Amino acid sequence: MLKIHQLSKKLDETEILKNISFDIEQGTITGLIGRNGAGKTTLLRTIVGILSPDEGAILIDNKDITIEPNTRNQIAYMSDTTNFIKQFTVKELITIYENAYPNFDKEKFLDALNKYKLPHGSLRKYSKGMKTLLYLLLTFSTGANYVILDEPTNGLDPVVKRTVLQLIIEYASTNSVGVLISSHHLVELEKIIDQYLFLKEGTIDNVATMEESTNKHFKLQVAFENGLPSEIAELEHVSVFSKTGKVAILIVSGQKEEFLQTLGKRNPLLLEELPLTLEDLFFLKDGGELYV
């Protein structure tokens, strides 16, 4: 198990991460979500050792990787840019990864290159999608037990994006690897994760599975003749996702049947339950303005 224990980090005297704790188990995919500036990239870079924690520990099977640095090669990292790999040839990248990761599987990597029809030489003719796929295949060939991915699908066309997501799912399940993936693309993230971490202002605000969240919250589309009654909108456990004319979409916490009875007494023109999504939960945790 990869355990992040009471991790804190300052950059330029500003506290970016504050007493963060969570676990990543092998064979699971965890989504890291949060607003821009919440500290996601700082968290990932601290876990993989690019930054050093000011407080707390990063443990693999209860071994602190700062005290036992040989355990660090059990974590592989793919950054949010391909700038690192584009300056090398495929052969040079293989040498770099073989030196960095003693369990790097060269044959597996070369087989994957052939499977995805990626050239074996220079990266000059590689498209952005091809570079991303190559970077991911390198990361997945390290033999690491834990893989950290920072925005792996940014800027990809739908075909390559689908390939990348399928590759992540397949690799995590068949190799019993724990994957932590940071992404703003919540719709696609929801399809592949086992649980999500919500990072807000440098702290973990919530750790949950989608099933746990849908047991606690529900989403409704309602309409009233004179619009949503203020006494409903102002209830503490009700968040108004949107309003268009007479129609409102609500995300509600608590007892569903009791709330439905409350609405029913007000003779709604429309009362319909909608599927709750990861995007909805993001809105619930951070008060809206999803894409700021």
* pLDDT digits 0-9 by tens, 159-212: 999 999 999 999 998 999 999 999 999 999 999 999 999 999 999 988 999 899
pLDDT > 50? residue 141 = yes
CA distance 176 to 173: 5
pLDDT > 70? residue 228 = yes
* Mean pLDDT along residues 20-37: 94
Give which of 77, 91, 93, 65 is closest to 140, Cα–Cα.
77
pLDDT > 90? residue 290 = no
| Residue 4: predicted pLDDT | 96
Residue 38's contacts (CB-CB under 8 Å, 6 or more residues apart) are 199, 200, 201, 202
* C-beta of residue 44 within 8 angstroms of C-beta of residue 208: no
Give which of 80, 64, 39, 28 is closest to 194, Cα–Cα.
28
> What is each CA distance from 108 to 61, 91, 242, in whole angstroms?
26, 14, 49
- How, if at all, do strands 217-223 and 270-274 pair? antiparallel
pLDDT band at 111 (very low <50, low <70, confident <90, very high): very high
Q: Kindly report the length of the chain.
A: 292
* Mean pLDDT along residues 115-129: 92
Q: Which helix (H) or strand (E) holds 146?
A: strand 146-150
This prediction has a pTM of 0.90
Around 221, how many Cα atoms within 13 Å sit in the side-chain half-sphere? 9
Q: Which helix (H) or strand (E) holds 237?
A: none
Give which of 203, 206, 201, 207 is closest to 7, Cα–Cα.
203
| Residue 28: predicted pLDDT | 94
> What is each CA distance from 265 to 138, 219, 262, in whole angstroms?
59, 19, 6
pLDDT band at 287 (very low <50, low <70, confident <90, very high): low
pLDDT > 80? residue 292 = no
* C-beta of residue 288 within 8 angstroms of C-beta of residue 257: no
What is the SS3 assignment for 171? helix
* Mean pLDDT along residues 247-256: 94
pLDDT in tens, 40-99: 999 999 999 999 999 999 999 999 998 888 899 999 999 999 998 999 999 999 999 999
pLDDT > 60? residue 289 = no
| Residue 261: predicted pLDDT | 93
| Residue 266: predicted pLDDT | 93
